[in-house]
Amino acid sequence: MAGMHFLVGISTENYVILAADKATFAYGAILADSENDKEYRLGKKLTMMCIGEEGDVAQFGDWTKRNLQLYSVRNASAHHFVRRSIAEGLRSQDHYTVDVLIGGYDDKEEKAFLGSVDYLANGLAQQPYLFRGFCGRFCYAIMDHEYKKDMSETEGLALMNKCIGEAKRRFVANIPGYKVVIIDKNGYRKLNDVLF
Amino acid sequence: MSIMSYTGGTVVAMAGDECVCIASDLRIGEQMTTIATDQKKVHKVTDKVYVGLAGFQSDARTVLEKIMFRKNLYELRENRRIKPQVLSEMISNLAYQHRFGSYFTEPLVAGLDDTNKPYICCMDTIGCVSAPRDFVAVGTGQEYLLGVCENFWRENMKPDELFEATAQSILSCLERDAASGWGAVVYTITKDKVNISTIKARMD
Q: Residue B104 and residue B90: Cα distance in Å, rounded?
A: 17
Residues 6+ apart with CB under 8 A from B56: A120, B3, B4, B6, B7, B103, B104, B105
This prediction's pTM: 0.91
Contact A164, A178 (CB under 8 A): yes
Judged by a CB distance cut-off of 8 A, whether residue A123 touches chain B is: yes
B15 has which bridge partners? Answer: B20
B101 CB within 8 Å of a chain A CB: yes
Task: Give B80's pLDDT tier (boundaries 50, 70, 90).
Answer: very high
Q: Which of B135, B129, B162 is nearest to B147 (CA)?
A: B135
How many A×B Cβ pairs under 8 Å?
A: 36
Cα–Cα distance between A114 and A124 in angstroms, integer?
A: 9
Q: How far apart are CA A44 and CA A187, in angstroms?
A: 7
Is the distance from CB of A74 to CB of A112 less than 8 angstroms?
Answer: no
Residue A2 has pLDDT above 60, yes or no: no
Q: Is residue A122 within 8 Å of residue B57, measured between CB atoms?
A: yes
Q: Which secondary-structure segment (H or E) carries B137?
A: strand B135-139
pLDDT at B38 (0 to 100): 94
Calculate what percentage of chain A has a pLDDT beyond 70: 99
Q: Does A130 score more than 80 pLDDT?
A: yes
Please tell me the predicted confidence (pLDDT) of residue B137.
97
Q: Name all domains of chain A by residue range, CATH numbers in brackets.
A: 6-195 (3.60.20.10)
Residue B181, helix vs strand vs coil: coil
pLDDT in tens, A60-85: 999 999 999 988 888 889 999 999 99
Residues 43..102 of A with a Cβ closer than 8 Å to B: which? 83-84, 87, 90-91
Is the CB of residue A191 less than 8 Å away from at least one CB of chain B?
Answer: no
The reported pLDDT for the residue numbered B204 is 86
pLDDT of residue A75: 87
Q: Does B57 touch chain A (CB under 8 A)?
A: yes
ipTM: 0.86
What is the SS3 assignment for chain A?
CCCCCCEEEEECCCEEEEEEECCEEECCCEEEECCCCCEEEEECCEEEEEEECHHHHHHHHHHHHHHHHHHCCCHHHHHHHHHHHHHHHHCCCCCCCEEEEEEEEECCCCEEEEEEECCCCCEECCCCEEEECCCHHHHHHHHHHHCCCCCCHHHHHHHHHHHHHHHHHHCCCCCCEEEEEEEECCEEEECCCEEC
pLDDT at B102: 94
Q: Residue A72 has what pLDDT?
A: 82
pLDDT tens, position by position, A148-183:
999 999 999 999 999 999 999 999 988 999 999 999
Per the prediction, chain B carries an average pLDDT of 95
By Cβ distance, the residue of A84, A122, A137 closest to B33 is A137
Domains of chain B: 3-199 (3.60.20.10)
* Residue A54 pLDDT: 86
Distance of alpha carbon B194 from alpha carbon B123, whole angstroms: 24
Indicate the residue type of A129: Y
Residue-wise pLDDT tens digits, B86-138: 999 999 999 999 999 999 999 999 999 999 999 999 999 999 999 999 999 99
Determine the length of chain A: 196
Q: What is the pLDDT of residues B156-185, one digit of tens each?
A: 999 999 999 999 999 999 999 999 999 999
> Which residues have CB under 8 Å from A71's CB, separation 6+?
none
Nearest-CB residue to B57 (from A122, A136, A137): A122
Over residues B135-153, the pLDDT tens digits come to 999 999 999 999 999 999 9
B33 at A interface, C-beta within 8 A: yes
Q: Name which of A123, A127, A130 is nearest B61 (Cβ-Cβ).
A: A123
* B39 and A CB contact within 8 Å: yes
Q: How far apart are CA A59 and CA A50, in angstroms?
A: 11
Chain A residues with CB-CB distance to B5 below 8 A? none
DSSP for residue B4: G
Q: Do B62 and A123 touch (CB under 8 A)?
A: no
Residues B111 and B87: beta-carbon distance below 8 Å = yes
Q: Does B155 touch chain A (CB under 8 A)?
A: no
Question: Closest Cα of chain B to A145: distance in Å?
Answer: 14
Question: In this structure, are residues A23 and A168 in contact, taking their beta carbons and an 8 Å threshold?
Answer: no
**What's the start-to-end Cα distance of chain A, in Å?**
26
pLDDT at site A1: 45
DSSP state of B80: S
Instruction: Compute the residue count for chain B.
Output: 204
